[in-house]
Amino acid sequence: MIEVLLIIISIFVLLFLESFLFELFSFSILILVLLLLWKRINPVVYYILITFFAITLDSVNHFPLGTHVLVISILLFVFDLLSIVIPSEGKLHYLTILLSTFLYYILLLLIGSLLQDGAFPKVWGSLVNIAVVSGITTILYAFVNRFLKSIQYEGSKSRLTLD
């Protein structure tokens, strides 16, 4: 029960941060959460949460229904493909994150415009901005990833000591 309550509060906090940061730096916290939670929680819970949040974003941003969900599903495919080409362990993994984040923003721009207006948007003008934001997302991912790994390590160490 407490988990459900925490998830609901988290969604509200995430939505606030998403709206705030997107307005301020055109930065999406969804992609960061998306990549951080990937393979860390139960896939069913993951998909439910992501879908719920994606539909919420479609609703509040007045995108056609399913825009964010479609972008995420394509992204997860590409992410897996990139993981085959680029090793998922080590520093090169962050290149996958960078490319995935870059693709997320491009896809959101493209698919959003195609579904909404039926026209291709002018992406060239936004490329630099997207590249910078993708870079920041990757750096943040790296920090949070290390932090989460250290927590996991500390947790396992304490467990070993207790055993």
Partner 1 sequence: MKRKFDFKSYSKFLYLIFSIILVLLGQTTLGDRVKYPFAYIFSPIHVYGSNAGKKVNNWKEALIDASSYITEFNEMKEEIAKLKVENSEKLLDYNEYLSLKEQSSFLINEREYIQAKIITDNSQGSILINVGKENGIEIGDIVILGRVYIGMISDVSLYSSRVRLPLNPSSSFEVVVLPGSIDLNKENRIDSLVKSTGVVIGKSDNILIENLGINSDVKEGDFVLIRDSRVEDIFVLGTLVGVSNNPASTNKSGFVSPIFDYGNILNVYVIKK
For partner 1, the binding residues (CB under 8 A) are: 12, 15-24, 43-44, 47, 51, 55-56, 58-61, 64-67, 69-70, 72-74, 76-77, 80, 115
CB of 91 to partner 1, least distance (A): 25
**Among residues 63 and 105, whose Cβ is nearest to partner 1?**
63
How far is CA 142 from each of CA 24, 27, 98, 114, 149, rounded to the nearest angstrom? 22, 16, 11, 32, 10
Could you tell me the smallest distance in angstroms from the CB atom of residue 74 to partner 1?
A: 7
23 vs 163 by CB, closer to partner 1? 23
If the CB atoms of residues 56 and 145 are measured against partner 1, the closer one turns out to be 56
CB-based burial label for 47 (10 Å; 0-12, 13-18, 19+): middle
Angle between helices 2-25 and 43-60 (to 10 degrees): 50
* Shortest Å distance, C-beta 56 to partner 1: 5
Q: Is 63 helix (H, G, I), strand (E, B) or coil?
A: coil
Shortest gap between Cβ of 94 and partner 1 (angstroms)? 21
Nearer to partner 1, 66 or 121 (CB): 66
Q: How far is the CB of 158 from partner 1 (least distance, A)?
A: 29
For partner 1, the closer CB: 47 or 94:
47
Owner of token pair 């993994």: 93
What does the buried/exposed string (b/e) look like for 77-102 if buried means 16 or more CB atoms within 10 Å of the residue's CB? ebbeebeeeeeeeeeebeebbbbbbb
